Structures are given as structure tokens and as C-alpha cells.
Amino acid sequence: MNFKAIVFSCVALWGATAAVAQTPVYLDDSKPIDQRVEDALSRMSLKEKIAILHAQSKFSAPGVPSLGIPDLWTDDGPMGVRPEVLWDEWDQAGWTNDSCTAFPSLTCLAATWNPEMATLYGKSIGEEARYRNKSVLLGPGVNIYRTPLNGRNFEYMGEDPYLAAQMAADYVRGVQSNGVAVCVKHFALNNHESNRYTTNSIAGDRALYEIYLPAFKAACVDAGAWSLMGGYNLVNGQHATYNQRLVNEILKGEWNWDGAVISDWGAVHDTKQAVEGGLDMEFGTGTDGLTGSGNSYDKYWLANKYYDGVRDGIYSEEQLNDKVRRVLRLNMRTAMNRNRPWGSINSPEHHQACRTIGEEGVVLLKNTDKILPIATDKVKRIAVIGENGIKRMTVGGGSSSLKAQYEIHPLEGLQNRFGNDVEIVYERGYVGDTVTYYNNVWTKQDLRDPRSAEQLVADAVNAAKDADLVLFFGGLNKAYHQDSEGTDRESMDLPYGQNELIEALVAVNPNIVVVNISGTGVAMPWLDKVKAVIQGWYLGNETGNTLAAILAGDVNPSGKLPYTYYASLDQCGAHKLGEYPGTPRHDPIEGDIIDMHYNDDIFVGYRFTEKNKIKPTFPFGHGLSYTTFEYGKATIDRKKGTADDVFTVTIPVTNTGDREGSEIVQLYVSDLKSSLPRPVKELKGFSKVRLAPGQTENVSFEISRDALSYFDDKAHDWVVEPGKFEALVGASAGDIRSKVSFEVQ
């Protein structure tokens, strides 16, 4: 090698070594994230720090171009990845490749009582979000079902904090395995939609810690959620999105959570409160991005006003840096994560996941004379009645509205399954919601009908007269004042004259099966007159095929209710004890607000009905099967080798029927004597077991001190009092099969 070549090689080697040495740590995936965050933070200007804390479009926030840090893109969930919208507007962008898999509602997921289904759900929707290059999926919703009128119940996971916590944690893990962040919402006490911007939810610490926070804690602490969304409402006098108590003291303080707090779209109203209350990212403040001179996004509360405040010494840079760290951490876990998988969308696996989750979540509420499953040797003519038999439900309902690649409605599913064996006739019976679009996404249906209400009923009755079986598909829909963001229901009654229609059908045919499509409970004044009732939820792409499989018996129903099915509103503590939807008053700081006192305290759902000896239509945890299960005698043992009180409860469960099926075995714990009021019993464990005919399995639960404790608001601590307890094992809160006493030292 000649001299020049040697010199050239040395220079090249030095340059390469220097380049490696100068590679920013924040770009090095092998380094710990916190080290990378500090490196990036040290290189950012004040303007760059402020910029990443607020939106630059409807659904994105800027990165740091000078450092090669990419933009952060969010998208609505939690039941499917929403289609693209225009940069500054809500209208659809008009893409032809942004359809998605529509998964079942989260009430359906909770009704599976199966954490494996939550993992499958999260993994599948996370893959779709990743394929669309989204960094943050806005979901899941984990607010507690406090009133059956809440328009957003279908987006949440039921009334019980333990069940919601278990399901939420596995959903979160599934999504984030794709390098896509969840954004758990809506933190906290966001339990109805009426007056959602001005409602001031007033609750004590016992209710907060025992009922309304556990699902959030499980998602954020146990599952490590990377972001969280505040609610529109106020909590104890301060906006939830930047609430000192919720965000700074509990979320970031007690829980030591390191994620980013993101505002709901339009939930921020003040710079000082937002800065000091712990908000990290602001989205959706009232601007279309086009109005006025300059960049309208710079007019956000966490934009120029915040920049000026830091520059002028009103706000500390230390406080700013904490927010920036959290946003950088979110970015590095998602958009900057070069090791995350590529994802997929509308795959056969996702469509099957949709169907599997739906099949496990559908609940058989009643089945007199074993009218179900449908026996094709006896049933030759089926009359399908009801608008929900043909209405596609993936469009509408607010931010969860989807552009599904396809949607099979119930009539199509029945025709697919029974078309060659059974004559199927259809009559609508009533006209409810004829709107078939939302944000310019169309269902490709025309639901207008020229017939009068009287004629619709007459035609339905005529079709039912000569049928061997009548399947009534009714319930709610995604229209305003039904299951929809922004509005609550006006009553528990079925809308559009459905109760009267069912009575008319019963009068001409005793073999009526009601399939209720909704995300929440409805009044059933006709319950004793129909043979069977199915809670059908919103089931996404595979709605029709899922319900047909259940009705035909191809799938043995195994879902159970994640909430109490009230007969009327006065069975629900939120209504019985007054105040809903709240009392208006004027606050000198916040303006006109509506106080909503949580007078039911910790007694939500079955905790309230059992305390007051109320018999609901169906209890929490109820659900039937096409087979039967026998529970043996429960036994309990103190777990050996543990210093604390830890017990193991075991019970044998046997399939005593003639077909394979799954049973959800539920463990409740009762404190027989405590110094503070406690519920009659509380869910502290569940297990879904699949059994062949004649098979027995011993189901075991571990009872730790967490399951025995209550929150003492005066001591601000969880307390386990010594004394006698009972472990109760059963098929629902209202069907306890065995119980065993034990004592805590």
C-alpha cells in the first residue's frame, strides 16, 4: 500500500470513529430510554420544547426536525382505527385505503371475562394502528358503569373495578406490544355524557380509590400504559385534565407513573391551570388551524402563552422539562422505536379475532324450554323482525365511529347459516334511525321506509303468525340519545315503540327470541312473555355471523354480564339517591358548572342492589349456557410460606350437560365485621374454564391482603382489619353456589 493510501485509510478510519463517537445518544436504541431522553432534552431550544407539547393538526403533534425526532400521530380507538381526516378539519380525507377491522364494543370484551381475549383484542387493534403508522391509539376507555343512561357505556368495561382492571391491563399489554401507545381514558369520574364539559363530579376518596381508580391504576402501573387522556368534566371543583389531586398527587405522585397526560380534544381552558395541573400535551383546542393570522395552533394554551410565561419567569423551566421528558419518552417508545413490528390491517386473523371475541362475549340471558339453540329439524320458518336485524352499526356513536372494510348484519348472518335449511322472512317492524353516515363515512344503506308505523307493525305481526320461531332484533343504535358520545339516553325504555311491537308479536306467537343490540342495559317489561333473550352488543365486522353461530348452537354462549341489568332507574344508586344529571351553580373561577354528587359512594351496581335488597332484572355476572354446570363444595387453605394472610380457595366445577361449554367461575369476598361500611360482597377473582361433558376441574383462587382491604380515607391508606371473612364462589353475584369462612389474624 502506498503512502497516500495509508494516509487516506487513516483519515477515513478517524472520521468513522469520530462519527460514531458523535452519534447522539437519543438515536441509539441500545441506550436506556431515560438516558436518550436527557440527551435529546439537552439539545432542544425553548421553542422546540414548547412545540412538542401541543398539536400541529387535528391528530398530530410535531417532533423536533433539527434533531430528526419524528411527528407523533394519534388516532381514535378503542374498537378500531378510525379513518384519516383532513389536516385541520374533522371531515374525512377521502382516502380509499384507510378502512379497518371493526372489533366488538368494550362492554362485549368485558363480558367475555377472559383476559386472553383482552390480549387478543389489544394485539390485533395495535397491529392495525401500527400498520397505519399511528403512535398513539386513543383508548381503551375504563370509566365505571355508574348509570345505564350513559351514552358512552358501550366504550367502557362495566361496573366492577376488579373486572375492568383485569381486562384493561391485558388490552394495554396487547396494544403496546406493537410499539403503539394506548391512551387510557377518560381520567377520571367521567361517568355520563350529559353536560360533560361542565359537570363537576364530586366524590370522596373511598369511592375514588375503591371504585373509580383501580382500572386506571391497573392500566398505568401494572400494564405500563404510555399515555393517558383526561376527561372533559371537573372533579371536585377542578378540571380533570389538569387536576392537582388526580394528576399530580395520585397519577404522577403516588403511582410514580412516567407517561404523558394528553388532553381530550378541547378540554383545556387556561394556561396556568394546565401547566400547574400536570397536563403534558394539548389537542383539539377551539381552532381549525386556519382562522386568523399565523399558525392558529400557536394560540393553544400550551403554545405561545406558555412560551412567554417560561421566558418571563412565570413558569419554571424545570416544570417544562418534566413535560418534555414525558413527551420524548412517549415518542421514543413509539415513533422512534425502530424495533417495533410492521403491523397488519384487515387480515383474516383480525376478522377471526373479531368473531372469536364476539362469540365469547355474547350473553344468553334467558332460555325457556331450551328454545335455543335453533333445531332445524323442528324449525322450518323463521321470521326475523326489527330494524337492528339489517342496520349496520359500525358507523356513528361519536369518536368510535369506524370505516369498516365490511359489516355483516344479523339477517345476512342468518341467511349465511340457515339459508339452505330454513325459510327466512324479514319484516322491519319499526323505523328508528335512518341516518347511515357519520363524518362522511357511509354504510351504503338506505333505511328510509314509506310505510306508516301502524303498517310496519301489522306487516311484522303477519310475518310472525305463521313462523315456527320469531327472532326480534332490537335495542339501541349509535344515534344521539342512544349509545353515542356527547349525549345520554333519555330513559331505560327501548325506543321507537319496540316494547309495544314485542307485545304484539307475543300475542300471535309464543316462540319469541329477543336479541338486544346495545352497549348498556334496557328495561324489559315483556321479559316474562318471551322465551329467550340474548344480549348481543355491537359486534363489529362479524356481527351477523357471530350471532348466527350462537343462535344455531355452533358456539355455546359463555359471556356474562359486566354490569347489573336494572329493571328501572330507581334500582340504580346514581338515580335513586338523587342529583342525576346534576345541580347547576355558578363558580367564580370555572363559571357555570353542574355539581354531580356521587351520593352512592362505593355502592355502585351490585354493591347498591345487594345493600338495599333490590332484585334487578339480571344480576351482575349473569349468563347462561346450552349446557349445565355443577359446583362442588369450596375449601380454603392458608398459603404456606407466606408471612401475610394469603389464602387459596378451591372448588370443583363439573359440566353436567351434554355439550362442551365454558363457565365463568366467580369469587367474591365478604368482610363479616368492619369498622367502616363495606359492600355485602365484592368480586375478587374469576376464572373461565372450558369443560367437556362430564369433565370436572378444580378451580383455584388466591386471596391476598389486597382482596381483603378497604380504603380508609381518614388514614389515607388501605386497611385490612383482623376478623372473620367469607369467600363466596358462584355463577353470578346473585347465584352463589358455595361459601367458606376464614379468619384474618
DSSP characters for 366-401? EEGGG--S--TTT--EEEEESGGGT---SS-SSTT-
Measured CA to CA, the distance from residue 520 to residue 402 in angstroms comes to: 20
Measured CA to CA, the distance from residue 611 to residue 478 in angstroms comes to: 34
In three-state secondary structure terms, 194 is coil
230 beta partners: 187
| Closest alpha carbon to 284 in 232, 243, 244, 237 | 232
| Closest alpha carbon to 460 in 482, 429, 490, 439 | 429
Contact criterion met (CB below 8 Å) for 283 and 61: yes
Contact criterion met (CB below 8 Å) for 120 and 163: no
Neighbouring residues of 104: CB distance < 8 A, sequence distance ≥ 6: 79, 354, 357, 358, 361, 537, 538, 539, 540
Measured CA to CA, the distance from residue 108 to residue 102 in angstroms comes to: 13
Q: Is residue 629 within a helix (H) or strand (E), and if so which, with residue range?
A: strand 629-631
Alpha helices in 656-704 (DSSP H): none
The neighbour count for residue 609, using CB atoms within 10 Å, is: 23
CA atoms within 13 A on the CB side of 241: 27
Contact criterion met (CB below 8 Å) for 173 and 181: no
Measured CA to CA, the distance from residue 643 to residue 110 in angstroms comes to: 34
Alpha helices in 362-520 (DSSP H): 410-418, 453-465, 498-508
| Closest alpha carbon to 591 in 200, 287, 315 | 200
Distances from the Cα of 329 to the Cα of 69, 79, 246, 332, 612, angstroms: 11, 26, 21, 5, 48
In three-state secondary structure terms, 192 is coil
Distances from the Cα of 515 to the Cα of 363, 533, 535, 635, 675, angstroms: 10, 6, 6, 39, 45
Contact criterion met (CB below 8 Å) for 682 and 698: no
Question: Parallel, antiparallel, or unpaired for β 583-587 and 591-597?
Answer: antiparallel
Catalytic residue among 75, 160, 264, 600: 264
Strands (E), 4-116: 60-61, 72-76
| Closest alpha carbon to 243 in 205, 200, 197, 274 | 274
661 beta partners: 691
Contact criterion met (CB below 8 Å) for 501 and 458: no
Is 264 a residue of the active site?
Answer: yes
Contact criterion met (CB below 8 Å) for 646 and 704: yes
Alpha helices in 195-338 (DSSP H): 205-207, 214-217, 271-276, 304-311, 317-333
DSSP characters for 292-325? SSS-GGGGSTTTHHHHHHHHTTSS-HHHHHHHHH
Measured CA to CA, the distance from residue 278 to residue 580 in angstroms comes to: 29
Residue recorded with cell 371531515: 91
Contact criterion met (CB below 8 Å) for 140 and 157: yes
Question: Parallel, antiparallel, or unpaired for β 181-187 and 136-138?
Answer: parallel
**HEC profile of 546-615:** HHHHHHHCCCCCCCCCCCCECCCHHHCHHHHCCCCCCEEEEECCCEEEEEEECCCCCCCCHHHHHHCCCC
Q: Which residues are known to be catalytic?
A: 264
